[in-house]
Amino acid sequence: MTLERRPLGLERTAIFIDGWNFAKATYEGLSIRVDFKRLLTTLAAGRLLLRATYYIGEWTDEGYALLAGLRRARLVDGAAPVDPAETERKRAQQQGFIRMLNRNGYQVVKRPVDVFADGSTKAAIGVDLAIDMLALADRCDRVVLVSGDGEFTPLVRAVAARGVRVQVVASQVPLAANTSPDHPRPFPARASDELLDAADEFTELKDLIADIELPEPRRIAPRPFVATDAPPAASQAVPETLA
């Protein structure tokens, strides 16, 4: 058997990100936009990164049609209809987001978004994430699970039983960042106590804000146009966090 060589002292690490849960915790709960390059650097710091996988819900034509039907049925309650132009814009934005992840060190696993009768939505990525984590467990010293979803508790226990150290990155902040005394808003995607009890380590997302937040672009005063100026190079903007 050939032993895998690695720098002495570096942990072999794999990162698994539940995109649906992560988006709710960061964009909705903490009210931040994430710089995904900085996120990967922060989570893999001082370790040998084997793989980083991002699990995401992808909108299909069927999903959009079902959501549109539900909204039309509730117009009497003041719900706005689905705008086809807005739908296409969001689809293009998500494709750009997925491409950005692919080009910045992540492998992306997509699953169709399920639309439920009450209008809520979620992508069933749990099985894919569990299979991938178990498949890599024997090659890892550490796995980093970025999710607070309690459904992963049995998975965390199974991976830990193989001698792999499990780190959960999520949040247990009680209230969302945009809450107020008059309108308290519970934190969305708050981490499950059972999940954290099963893990070896817990990292609070709120403590990582300074390391993973997307900086606001600097405002640069325009300079006078000169005819010989070359056209400006297009900048690559990182889209907002999408589930």
168's tokens: 């959960």
Note the pLDDT of residue 183.
85
Q: What percent of the chain has pLDDT over 90?
A: 58
Q: What is the pLDDT of residue 29?
A: 95
- What per-residue confidence (pLDDT) applies to 80? 58
Residue 236: inside a domain, yes or no? Answer: no
Identify whether the C-beta of residue 32 lies closer than 8 Å to the C-beta of residue 218.
no
E-state strands within the chain: 12-18, 48-58, 107-115, 121-123, 142-146, 165-170, 201-204
Structural domains in the chain (count)? 1
Considering the domain boundaries, does residue 234 fall inside one?
A: no
Q: Are strands 165-170 and 107-115 parallel, antiparallel or unpaired?
A: unpaired
In a domain, 143, yes or no: yes
Which residues are CB-contacts of 68 (< 8 A; sequence separation ≥ 6)?
Answer: 81, 82, 87
Residue 171 lies in a domain: yes
Pull the structure tokens for residue 17: 């990100």
Nearest Cα to Cα of residue 171 among 25, 20, 64, 42: 25
Measured CA to CA, the distance from residue 23 to residue 50 in angstroms comes to 23
Q: Which residues on neighbouring strands pair with residue 16, listed in sequence order?
A: 53, 145
Contact 147, 170 (CB under 8 A): yes
Structural domain contains residue 36: yes
Nearest residue to 11 (alpha-carbon basis) of 132, 139, 105: 139
pLDDT tens, residue by residue, 104-133:
999 999 988 777 777 666 777 899 999 999
Domain that holds residue 189: 12-58+105-112+122-212
pLDDT profile of the chain (243 residues), mean per 10: 55 96 95 96 96 89 68 58 69 89 96 74 85 97 97 98 98 91 90 98 97 76 45 39 43
**191 within a domain of the structure (yes/no):** yes
Question: Residue 176 CB: number of other CB atoms within 10 A?
Answer: 19
Is 144 inside any structural domain?
yes
Whether residue 222 is contained in a domain is answered as no
CATH of the domain at 191: 3.40.50.1010
Taking CA 166 as the corner, what is the angle to CA 123 and CA 168, rounded to the nearest 5 degrees?
50
